[in-house]
Amino acid sequence: MTIPMSPDTLIMTAVSILVLPLVGFALMLFFGKKLPRQGDWLETSLITVVLGLALIVLAQKLLNYHDDIIALNFTWVDMHNVPGIGPLKIVLGFQVDNLSAIMVAVVALISTLVHYFSIGYMQGDVRYSRYFAFLGLFSFSMLMIVLADNFFLLYVGWELVGISSYLLIGHWYEKKSASNAAMKAFIVNRIGDVGFFIGIAILYQTFHTFGLREIFEGIRGGHLPYGSEGWLTAAGVLVFCGAVGKSAQFPLHVWLPDAMEGPTPVSALIHAATMVAAGVYLVARTFPMMTADALLVIAYTGAITAFISATIAIAQNDIKKVLAYSTISQLGYMVMALGVGAYTAGFFHLVTHAMFKAGLFLGSGSVIHAMHHALHHQGDHQTDPQDIRNMGGLRTKMPITFWTFVIYTLAISGIPLTSGFLSKDEILAGTLAFGGLSGHVLIPIVGFLVAGLTAFYMFRIVIITFLGDHRDARRLEHIHESPRVMTVPLIILAVLSIFVFYSFNPFGAADGWIARAMERPESVTPASVAPATNHVFEQALHHAHLPAMGLSLLVATLGMLIAFTTYYWKKISADRVAESLKPLHTFLSNKWYFDELYNGVVVEGVLVLTRALRWFDNTIIDGVVNGAGLLTKGISFISGKFDSGVIDGLVNATAYVSGFAGLLFRKFQTGKVQTYIVFAVLSVMIFYFVFRLV
Amino acid sequence: MESSNTFFGEFLAWLPNVQLAHFLIVSAILFALGIYGIATRRNAILVLMGVELVLNAANINLIAFSRYRGTNLDGQVAAIFVIILAAAEAAIALAIVLNIYHRFQTINVDEISTMKE
């Protein structure tokens, strides 16, 4: 393992990591149904190979090429001189740096675990092979995003994960709500992508390249978009728009809760661990080009998102919805971390969150699977297997699911000895440092508040679902622990949620391999608009570390205690609190009415425009067409009149003249000899006198 | 005899010396009258009378030219032929008219037609 792999081999391994899932997708799509067991073994074994290669690449990179960037570039298109544009050359390629290597490993790991879990969860599904094919497509797309070294391939992968998400959310497309959710996800994503596209366009126009390294070099050299720092900030914010859409940040967060219509393993893979992390990855990737203003926008967006979704989560009863809002909230945390400059912390949280959030979703999948099974046994098709109010006491029948779920909850709440504690702690320290340096104190306040809320709603779920007594004792008898293909991934993820894999120090990750691998890159923006330098920030971070840890422990414990007091020891009645704060409770459980707002404003707005255009088309365009028709009719009418009047008139006149002449000349034929004698004499006279003939 | 300066006077002076022109004028007048008779009259016999007039006018022409411009009597001889032929022709014509009357009960030239209206 420590024998160094040459850089070429390393990058080629990375490319094969990228290509294998695509091959799997193609094979599954065309041949899946005909293979035994519909080919799940094919796709799963391919992704396991990918995982193995990914771990090898990660190890090789961190051990032998720790601070290098290994890249592979090729010229895709080279049109030497396009009239009007100039030289047009598009160079694409892939790179392996620490960020990519760790992301590849995370994506491969979660994808592999989800593949195994799906073999159990999706058993007997109506479109089994298609599901695995799309998992392959998604894996390919996500790997493309993290391995691309240029905006072009990144955007291609970006759109592809959007499509994969659409296809997988709408897996059970017979259900109207599922297909609606799939469309909603894609459309809302697309809105963010418009901003992203404009940002890329600005950068390309300025630097005539899509390559990230080249763009950073250009900015460092003082070359700014349209020569102004303002435009650089704008470009940064526009690129962030893509992240807002993809990572479900406010205001484009509305698609993620609806995306829970998809199968739970899909939610685990895409909407918890990887696709939504793509936005965070993007911010991390483009971090050097973000000005201080852009980062401020990013920080506040993250903070607002974290706050809003945490408040909604405490009022939800569907287990997957709570997890969805929790995801949005944690993504807000990551984005906020990157915005305040806590680069390492933000990325670290991405990795740890991927583990325990995927675990939470798979665990909830395990619970839902068991509930389905039990309800089916009872012939009950009405009760919602995802509603926590129908659960309770599952701890006794599903021990593995329970204990792993507890570990994930501890991690997300930031309780010591978990990975989540380390990463969340770093973020909160970062927000404190930022607050101290810049005076934006709202951000750390929100950070700690949300930490408390997170602990509260997560333990609420644990208590209601697993502890206490089940609603229906007979149903409880039918509930069993899930099969090994489903529980083994849970165990693996639980193990990975413990601190020891990231740092040997349970109270600080600063010396861990991840912190050393993911040092915050230097900003390339001009000094006038740059964020605090690494040095200044690190100093502030150092001072904020201890207060942050103390405070975060305090709020987490408080949240946990309140949850237990309300739901386990039942000292506070949750229902009475909800009653007394009814308007607030309604506001929260209706998700701050965002969907209603967007429906009323955006959707209605578009429909109004549609109606206006339809009026225009029917009245004016058709009017013109009809008018043309009427004009032709008029012309033909005139022409007809002309034909019958003038032409026929001429013909008739000719006939009349002939007739008249005939009438005239008929007089010669009198039938009387005497007349003829007179004509003869007259003729002779004419001949003699006029013509001098005779 | 004194000379006259009026038209009528000159006309009266011209009358006594009979020359060719006098005969030709008479024959022309007769011819014209004959043609008029042929063309105009409805009675068949009157048409025949016109024919006679024409023939006689032609006779006068012949004789006049023979007297004033000829060296022999060719004109007069021709006139005698014409008279004989006129007589024969008149006899035949009258016989035809008689038959017409027998057939049509009328000798109105306008009405002796078996043509359709």
Query: Where do we find the tokens 């349209």?
Result: A226
Compute the Cα dihedral for A531, A534, A536, A541 and give only its sign. positive
Query: Where do we find the tokens 């089994």?
Result: A128
Pairs across A and B, CB distance < 8 A: 17
Q: Which residues of A touch B36 (CB under 8 A)?
A: none
* Nearest-angstrom CA–CA distance, A607 and A149: 40
**How high does pLDDT run on average in chain A?**
87
Record: contact A675-B113, CB cut-off 8 A:
no
In tens, the pLDDT along A44-66 reads 899 999 999 999 988 888 888 88
Record: contact B109-A675, CB cut-off 8 A:
no
Question: Quick one: what percent of chain A has pLDDT higher than 90?
Answer: 37
Q: Is B46 on the interface with A (CB under 8 A)?
A: no
Record: contact A674-B40, CB cut-off 8 A:
yes
In tens, the pLDDT along A165-202 reads 999 999 999 999 999 999 999 999 999 999 999 999 99
* Nearest-angstrom CA–CA distance, A333 and A400: 29
pLDDT at A225 over 60: yes
Q: Is A669 on the interface with B (CB under 8 A)?
A: no
Q: Which residues of B touch A671 (CB under 8 A)?
A: 113, 115
pLDDT at A22 over 90: yes
List the single residue in A with minimal CA-CA distance to B47.
A674
In A416-525, alpha helices (H) = 419-438, 442-466, 473-477, 484-496, 513-517
Q: Is A607 on the interface with B (CB under 8 A)?
A: no
Cis peptide before A251 (omega within 30 of 0): yes
Per-residue model confidence (pLDDT) at position B1? 57
Q: Is A672 on the interface with B (CB under 8 A)?
A: yes
Record: contact B109-A677, CB cut-off 8 A:
no
Nearest chain B Cα distance for residue A670, angstroms? 10
Per-residue model confidence (pLDDT) at position A508? 72
Per-residue model confidence (pLDDT) at position A325? 92
Per-residue model confidence (pLDDT) at position A693? 63
* Nearest-angstrom CA–CA distance, A83 and A329: 50
| Helical packing angle, A176-207 and A151-169, nearest 10° | 180
Which of these, A557, A322, A609, A548, lies nearest to A452 by C-alpha position?
A: A557
**Average pLDDT score over residue span A681-687:** 89
Q: Which residues of A touch B38 (CB under 8 A)?
A: 674, 677
Please check whether residue A154 is in contact with residue A215, taking contact to mean a CB–CB distance below 8 angstroms.
Answer: no
**Average pLDDT score over residue span A622-643:** 92
Of B39, B40, B113, the CB nearest to A671: B113
Record: contact A672-B38, CB cut-off 8 A:
no
Of A671, A672, A681, the CB nearest to B35: A681
Q: Is A673 on the interface with B (CB under 8 A)?
A: yes
Per-residue model confidence (pLDDT) at position A336? 93
Among B31, B33, B35, the strongest candidate for a mutation testing the A interface, having the largest count of A CBs within 10 A, is B35
* ipTM exceeds 0.90: no
Per-residue model confidence (pLDDT) at position A327? 92
In tens, the pLDDT along A23-45 reads 999 999 898 888 887 788 888 89
Per-residue model confidence (pLDDT) at position A70? 84
pLDDT at A687 over 60: yes
Q: Which residues of A touch B110 (CB under 8 A)?
A: 672
| Residue A293 CB contacts under 8 Å (≥ 6 apart), including other chains | A233, A529
